Structure 1
Amino acid sequence: MADQPKIHPTADLELPPTVPLVPPGAPASDKATSPLRHQGPPVIIPSRPPRTRSCCCRCLCWTICLLVVLLFVVGAAAAILYAVFQPKLPEYSVQKLRITDLRLNIDLTLYAKFEVQITANNPNKRIGIYYEKGGWLAVWYENDKLCQGSLPIFYQGHKNVTELNVRLSGQTRSGRTLMNALQEQQQTGQIPLTLNVNAPVAVKVGRLKLRKVRILGKCLLVVNSLSTSNPVSIRASDCSYRLKL
């Protein structure tokens, strides 16, 4: 009998490839290597901005808005008050100047004693002025203060003109040099003096008394003499004033 050829089984190409099964108790690493498991892209969750930052921005915006409104209200109120009351600075003028004493002491200091008559004019129709304690008036020659005196305490009403008599006295070092300079100026008949005013005042608007401010005045005078025996004539006077809060 002839030998029959052996038949070997061939794989069926139409069947799908066999997939090895993963037993239920296999570890997770074995499951991850399975070709049937599909891993998608990672999901990114957007992070929210911190809420505290937005709260700070809102608070800052509200604060700025309130400040703007407050400045507007204050400015409007000030404009209304200015239009109603029309405030003006008081005016001062030097009427008389008298030299009661001017001598050189033994210690070579110059002693001076003046009497000054000033006219204070309040031009306001609805504003009164309280002249408080601490006001003073001083007379200077160039950079040397000759004498100083205190201003009186009083109340000046609306559209009022008041005459003030102020006594001044003082001593100055380097009296010999200063006396020689004054005598040389007296020969020319043109002696320049500076009169400074520092007046703390409180303004009264209606029945309301406002905070204290200061009125600073400066008068440039030219007199003919500083003699105690002859009358002093004021040949020129130029005064300016400003308000210091």
Structure 2
Amino acid sequence: MTDHQQRIHPVVDVEAPAPSTPLVPHGSATSEKGSPIQQRPLQRTIPVRPPPPPPRKRSCCCKCICWTVSLIVVLLIILGATIGILYLVFRPQLPKYSIDSLRISDLRLNFDMTLYAKFDVKITANNPNKKIGIYYEKGGRLSVWYTNSKLCEGSLPKFYQGHQNITKLEVVLTGQTQSGSTLMSALQEQQQTGQIPLDLKVHAPVAVKLGKLKMRKVKILGECKLVVDSLSANNIISIKASNCKFRLKL
């Protein structure tokens, strides 16, 4: 009987734990003893971009605005200082005016139903300034009004008024007004009360002289509210009340 040799193969235990052998990644370096060399993880460098510069055009505009505002402020300071110095040196005062007399040369109703009026007015102009002269230029006007109707108007003379000077003026005013019959009736009815309100308006272009320097033209605007007793022609009219206000207009 032939003996058959039986080979016994080792049985592999499937449920046995895997050997605790350190895993070496493929392609990793090893030391001379065969053990793997631990490599540091690769570090990735991300470039940091600087923020974009602001638009150049906007920067230039901001600089221009700042320079402009600064220049305006400096000019205003210089102007204010100049005006302050001039005021302290010259001490300017408004001229004073008064109505001395008012006379009616003619007041009649024409055939075309317009009202014709002719007034003679005497005015006193007083310049109280010690260092300021006044040039009364051409184009000055003086007018007399009743309510909202202009009765007459005249031109102021052109002249120069020196320092602390008092000047007497005589101005002739003439005019024609539409709807004369209605206006004449209102004046006659008002005359019976003995108090007739009139407005005397002044519009005078003047130039101020500071020392030897003649300044630019300005305007003197004024209004005198008068109350007279009568509007009879060729008679001196009594002025019962007078309130005058004047101002400069640049």
> TM-score, normalised to structure 2's length?
0.82
Q: Unmatched 5+ residue regions in structure 2? A: 10-20, 29-39
Residue 26 (structure 2) aligned to one of 18, 30, 33 = 18
CA distance in 1, matches of 2:182, 2:23: 132
Aligned pairs for 1:124-135 (under 5 A) are 124-135=129-140
Alignment-derived partner of residue 160 in structure 1? 165
Q: Which residue of 1 aligns with 2:51?
A: 47
Amino acid at match of 1:49: P
- Choose from 230, 238, 247 the match for 1:242: 247
Equivalent residue of 1:134, what SS? coil
- Counterparts of 1:190 and 1:18, CA distance in 2: 126
Larger CA deviation: 124-133 vs 45-54: 45-54
Residue 222 (1) aligns with residue 227 (2): yes
Change (3 A) 1:125 1:18: same
Work out which of the two has the higher radius of gyration on C-alpha atoms and give 1 or 2.
2
SS in 2 for 1:70: helix
User: 2: CA distance between counterparts of 1:105 and 1:73?
Assistant: 60
SS at match of 2:234: coil
Which residue pairs with 1:179 in the alignment? 184
Q: Distance in 1 between matches of 2:187 and 2:154?
A: 21
Counterpart amino acid of 1:132? Answer: E
2:49 maps to a residue whose letter is I
Q: How does 1:1-245 map to 2 (within 5 A)?
A: 16-19=24-27, 38=42, 40=44, 42-50=46-54, 52=56, 53-245=58-250
SS at match of 1:106: coil
Report the Cα distance in structure 2 between the residues aligned to 1:173 and 1:154, rounded to whole angstroms. Answer: 34
SS at match of 2:237: coil
The alpha-carbon deviation at position 43 of structure 1 amounts to 1.8
Does the 8 A contact of 2:109 with 2:180 survive in 1?
Answer: yes
Q: Is the 8 A contact 2:106 2:234 kept in 1?
A: no
Match of 1:78, SS state, is: helix
Q: Which structure 1 residue ranges, 5 or more long, are not aligned?
A: 7-12, 21-35
Separation in structure 1 between the aligned mates of residue 225 and residue 123 of structure 2, nearest angstrom: 14
Instruction: State the TM-score, normalizing by the size of structure 1.
Output: 0.84
CA distance in 1, matches of 2:92, 2:173: 31
| CA drift at 1:236 | 1.1
Q: For 1:114 and 1:231, how far apart are their aligned partners in 2?
A: 11
1:39 CA drift (Å): 7.0
Give the distance between the partners of 1:216 and 1:164, measured in 2 at CA. 17
Other structure's SS at 2:130 match: coil
> One-letter code of the match for 2:26?
T
Letter in 2 for 1:18: H
Q: Answer yes or no: is the 8 Å Cα contact 2:103–2:234 preserved in 1.
A: no
Cα deviation code 1:137-172 (max 9, x no counterpart): 000011110000000000000000101111110011
Q: Which amino acid aligns with 1:198?
A: H
Residue aligned with 2:69, SS: helix
State the alpha-carbon separation in 2 of the partners of residues 57 and 180 from structure 1.
Answer: 70
* Structure 1 CA distance for aligned equivalents of residues 116 and 154 of structure 2: 14
| Aligned counterparts of 1:72 and 1:194: Cα–Cα separation in 2 | 42
Cα deviation per residue 1:70-129 (whole Å; 9 max; x = unaligned)? 211111111111111011111111001111110001111100011101111111110000
